[in-house]
Structures are given as structure tokens and as C-alpha cells.
Chains A and B, each alone.
Chain A
Amino acid sequence: QAVLTQEPSLTVSPGGTITLTCGSTSGAVTSAHHPYWFQQKPGQAPRTLIYDTSDKPPWTPARFSGSLLGGQAALTLSGAQPEDEADYYCMVSYSGVRVFGGGTKLTVL
């Protein structure tokens, strides 16, 4: 089973821009894997930020965007806010089986 790799932790300044990545030990992450990105704050359930690589549900702020970069899924945050401090998880699908990445702890400081 593929293992998804994410940066364990990242720090961004308020108002800054940062990109989180999600790679796979099984090769390139592509649009066929329909990458997702979830945000989870302490004590809360995850919530979807991005689905199918770059689509956003209605509740996702415009400052978040998803893409594919160099064979990895990527989540870019442009104009970080204090409330964006959270854990971020990618997830991809392999023929109906879903795999989560290990998560990135994002600090806004």
C-alpha cells in the first residue's frame, strides 16, 4: 500500500504564503488519484478544504488553493491568518481505497 509523505511541520508568518506538499512512495500523485486536503484543529473533526486536486467546497476560504506540483499534490495558502494554524492532511484514492498522508502541523507565527 502506498505511503503518502507530508512535511511534519511548517511555519508561516501572518499574511505570508506557504505551500504544503503530498508525495507518494508509489510514484507520482496525479489527477487520477483525486487528491483531497483536510484541515483539522485541536479537538475537532477534520473538514475538507480541497477535493479532486483543486476544487473547493463552499466553506473553503479563497486563500486556499490546490494543485499538482512536480508529481505531488500541493496545498497553497496565500495570506495566512492566525486561524489557519492547524493540522493539514492530504488523502488520495487508489481504485476506491483511500490513503491519508501523515499530516503537516502548520504554525502561523
Chain B
Amino acid sequence: QVQLQESGPGLVKPSGTLSLSCSVSGDSISSSNWWNWVRQPPGKGLQWIGEIYHSGVTHLNPSLKSRVTLSVDKSNNHFSLKLSSVTAADTAVYYCARSNIVGTILLFDYWSQGTLVTVSS
């Protein structure tokens, strides 16, 4: 059974950097899957942040691209998100998710439970 679990501060100061890690169990971060970050501001809809492959190749949301860094840690089987210059608008529940290759298409099959990150002084 694949499980994803985020970790990181629940409170970040404005202008600071939000850092989250997603630990993967039941699968190798080096498998043929993509690893995603999705966020959801309180009471609002979903926003895709980006995805990373174990090789380090990334696809990022253009609206966040200048502030987002995704990385993979193969030795510890986790992947990470850094979002810089945060404002209150970055307050959201952050999810990490696996997208599994099925034929030639990616299926988002496993999600973390989500973690609320609040940007406030």
C-alpha cells in the first residue's frame, strides 16, 4: 500500500519560504511515476503547483514557476516543495500526490491527507 505523508512548518512568515517534504512509503521515488504538489486555499478550489520525476525533470504551474522549487531525495525516498516570497494568498492545504503511468497516461492514484500551511506574522 502506497502512502504519502507531508511534513513541514504549519506557519510561515510573509516574505519567507514555505518548505514541505512528502515522504513516500510502499513505492520507490525512483519508480516510473511523477510526484505532484497540489494546494487548496481554505474554502476554495484546487490548484496544481507542479510535478517532478526522479530524474529531476519538472513541470510547473506558470503562475507559480518563479517562486517554486521541486526536488527529489532518492536516499530518503521523499520529494520536496519550496515556495519563496510567500504572502497570505499562499495560505492553503497542501497535498502531495503520485501520478502513476497507465499505458501512456498518468493516473493520480495516491494522495496525502493534506497539511494546512498558514502565512502570517
Contacts and interface: CB of A to CB of B under 8 A. Distances in A.
A36 interface: yes
B105 A51 contact: yes
A96 B57 CA distance: 11
A45 B113 contact: yes
A14 B29 CA distance: 42
Nearest to A98: B48
A102 B45 contact: yes
A36 B111 CA distance: 15
Interface string A22-53: 00000000000010101010000111100110
A18 interface: no
B79 interface: no
B105 A46 contact: no
Contacts of A45: 95, 97, 111-114
A97 B45 contact: no
Dominant SS among interface residues on chain A: strand
A54 to B, nearest CB: 11
A51 B106 CA distance: 8
Contacts of A100: 38, 45-48
B46 A38 contact: yes
Interface stretch (B7-15, B17-25, B59-67, B70-78): B59-67
In the A-B complex, list the 10 residue pairs whose CB atoms are closest, starting with the nearest.
Answer: A45-B111, A96-B59, A98-B48, A52-B105, A103-B45, A100-B46, A48-B108, A102-B45, A51-B107, A89-B46
Given A1-B62, A51-B102, A52-B105, 4 more contacts: A51-B107, A97-B62, A100-B45, A100-B47
Interface of B: 38, 45-48, 51, 59-63, 95, 97, 102, 105-109, 111-114
Interface of A: 1, 34, 36, 38, 40, 45-48, 51-52, 55, 57, 87, 89, 91, 96-103
26 contacts: A1-B62, A1-B63, A40-B46, A45-B95, A45-B114, A46-B38, A46-B108, A46-B111, A47-B111, A51-B102, A51-B105, A51-B107, A55-B102, A57-B107, A87-B45, A89-B46, A91-B46, A91-B48, A97-B48, A97-B60, A100-B45, A100-B47, A101-B45, A102-B45, A103-B45, A103-B46
